[in-house]
Structure 1
């Protein structure tokens, strides 16, 4: 089955391949399908790829109340339980990176390694609060998820990828996905992000960790990723040349190389 149930929420996940498990956590307003550029690379290298749709996203249950990063992390632990997996390599981008860090702190024994890409340590700043307020307003408008995709696409993917045939095809795939998304559910995730603050807890992460940043990421600049890596004992840091915010997509080859090199060491 491609679903599990946690606290009365029916949550969808992709499960492909065999070997050590890699749990891939997507960004806000997206789905597990955002990890398709990693699916073949990881499975061919001998990893089992598990890519859930967060609550309120993709094929998972809708939300009618604020949903925190801690809630998302708890859903991930429940998925590992459902699959009888004592541990997994945890990989997260943007919102997924926030949930990955939360999971590493809340359930450290379940984390074989931690990869955080283009993410954040906190939403406590005035800038972050304003950004979330804008997103909530947009998402609750008619066709809000479509509007947000159209607004965010130029910042999220680099210009070369957006101009390529693959980029143009992906735009229409994500456009169709956004057309079916529930804006209220995604706004509830934005509400839950208001309480996210791990900046002063990162030093407690015990898992082997790497932080990846997109050289051209305007949403989560490289300096932020470097700072997070500096807080986590023993963490490594790398910049992906030319990559924007959704670096696993617009710079998939470089992302996959960095990810696989790290996973093979752990």
Structure 2
């Protein structure tokens, strides 16, 4: 891992490949390891890929005070500055998709193209009513790590994908590869619940692709329709039978979509 100084703290990141710059923004409780080496390697064939970790995650400094999604977007700007990138293609998923929305609204010149995955724009037409978060919080209340990991696996991945038990072992290994403190997750959830970029998305001019799985229990598929409807010219790609972590279940197809959307090939 490398580090970049942003706002008085050091955010961690990994970098792969060469080509046009591509910034990956993870979701709630996520870290760079949850992109998976297979997906990162596929993207690295065409891009200079940077996957950074949010404040408080994977060594990214202690975080005690509340923050907003817009604050996290300013962190992303700081990462771009630290890397010396004037602009980049941006892929944000879940909470990271909310961050990417705020980034493109506040700093449109920094975003070459935009991919928003399994995300939410705000309460006026969207809803954070998926059963997955409740399942995960119920398991977390037991303080049984194995139950929490299993609940996270079931909430984030489709039944069809979960049929192969070997995938659970791979998921657990990735989740536990970096530290995401519980208080930071709680602050991320607070920020996500306050997120509302509905009005601002009407002014987005970056070429935008929205991706959502039909079996997403964390942020339900209707939110993909909603996000795409708000951004002029946005295209919606629906993954049938796929859960929240769509790039985990369909890494080759997701990488292909990002390449086609960003590079036109």
Bucket of the pairwise TM-score, normalised by the shorter protein: 0.7 to 0.9
Structure 1: which 5+ runs fail to align? Answer: none
Native 8 Å contact 2:117 2:211 kept in 1:
yes
Counterpart in the other structure of 1:112: 112
Shift of 1:65: 1.2
Tell me, yes or no, if structure 1 residue 241 matches structure 2 residue 240: yes
Instruction: After superposition, give the CA deviation of every residue in 1:143-179 in whole Å (9 maximum; x if it has no partner).
Output: 588765432321211123223365123222145247x
Task: State the SS of the aligned residue for 1:200.
Answer: helix
Shift of 1:35: 1.6
Alignment of structure 1 residues 15-164 onto 2, 5 Å:
15-36=15-36, 37-44=38-45, 46-122=46-122, 128=128, 148-164=148-164
Instruction: Compute the TM-score of the two structures, normalised by the length of structure 2.
Output: 0.88
Q: 1:177 to 1:52 in 2, by over 3 A?
A: same
Instruction: Compute the TM-score of the two structures, normalised by the length of structure 1.
Output: 0.87
Native 8 Å contact 1:24 1:52 kept in 2:
yes
Task: State the SS of the aligned residue for 2:199.
Answer: coil
Q: 1:156 & 1:137 partners in 2: Cα distance? A: 13
Alpha-carbon RMSD: 3.0
Structure 2: which 5+ runs fail to align? Answer: none
Shift of 1:227: 2.0
Aligned residue-pair number: 264
Native 8 Å contact 1:240 1:255 kept in 2:
no
Moved more, 88-97 or 183-192: 183-192
Task: State the SS of the aligned residue for 2:232.
Answer: coil
Q: 1:139 & 1:158 partners in 2: Cα distance? A: 18
Moved more, 159-168 or 241-250: 159-168
